[in-house]
Structure 1
Amino acid sequence: MDQRLSFVTLAVRDLTATRRFYVDGLGWTAALDVPDEVLMIQVGEHVVLSLWSEAGFEGEVGPIRRGAGLAPVTLAHNVATREEVDAVLETARAAGADPVHAAAEREWGGYTGYFGDPDGFRWEIAWNPGPIGQAVLP
């Protein structure tokens, strides 16, 4: 098996709200949009963010575990400068992200902040000056 990731699939409660946030709010482009079923957005050369309605997700994958707290996963978007971190967080805030946690200097040398999408999935916006952080920039 090749060492790569092709799709990140998330089950969402309200696909219309999700579309409004990612496409209308953040300005991303849908690669595939099937109302009430799935929204797919190409987020890298060979990576797709696949946002499925909960019903469609459960029908294919199985029951979703629900409960209090955050999903134990974050999605990250790395940028080239500290200023870009702040700008992306502001764009997310304008798109309706809630919550938005202001960026801070991190112990490991980077600068990051977080926002939540309509389903509470947390996005980390990061400037990482180390080699691994630089390796993921376009």
Structure 2
Amino acid sequence: MDQRLSFVTLAVADLDRTRAFYVDGLGWTPEMVVPGEVLMIRAGERLVLSFWAESGFEAEVGPIRRGQGIVPITLAHNVATPAEVDAVLEVAASAGAEVSPGQQRDWGGYTGYFADPDGFRWEIATNPGDIGRLVLPD
């Protein structure tokens, strides 16, 4: 198996609300839209972020675990500077996201978080060293 990731698929409660947040609020461009079923957005050179309506997700994948707390996954969007972290968080806030402001972390990076309409947390980060440069566009 090749060492790569092709799709990240997230089950969402309200696909129209999700589309409004990512497309209208954040300004992302959809690659594929099937109303009431799926929204797919290119998230990298060979990476697609796919949002499925919960009913379709459960029909194919299985029952969704529900309960209190934060969804136990984060998605990360890395940028080159702390100022860029803050700017992305401002865009997310203006799109209606719940935002935790950027701050310097003990491990040397600067990060903040926002939650999309379904509570999926996005980490907006700048990472020091080679690993941080590995994920930035040229």
Q: Could you tell me the TM-score, scaled by structure 1's length?
A: 0.98
CA distance in 1, matches of 2:132, 2:22: 24
Q: Deviations over 1:5-40 (max 9, x none)?
A: 000000000000000000000000000011100000
CA distance in 2, matches of 1:130, 1:110: 9
TM superposition shift of 1:128: 0.7
Instruction: State the identity as a percent.
Output: 72
CA distance in 2, matches of 1:88, 1:129: 18
TM superposition shift of 1:137: 0.3
2:113 match: 114
CA distance in 2, matches of 1:43, 1:126: 16
2:13 match: 13
Structure 1 runs not aligned, ≥5 long: none
1:38 match: 38
- Tell me how large the CA RMSD over aligned residues is: 0.5
Return the letter of the residue paired with 1:104: Q
How do 1:59-98 residues align onto structure 2 when only pairs under 5 Å count? 59-98=59-98
Q: Could you tell me the TM-score, scaled by structure 2's length?
A: 0.98
TM superposition shift of 1:133: 1.0
CA distance in 1, matches of 2:46, 2:6: 6
Q: Deviations over 1:18-65 (max 9, x none)?
A: 000000000000000111000000000000000000001001101101
TM superposition shift of 1:103: 0.4
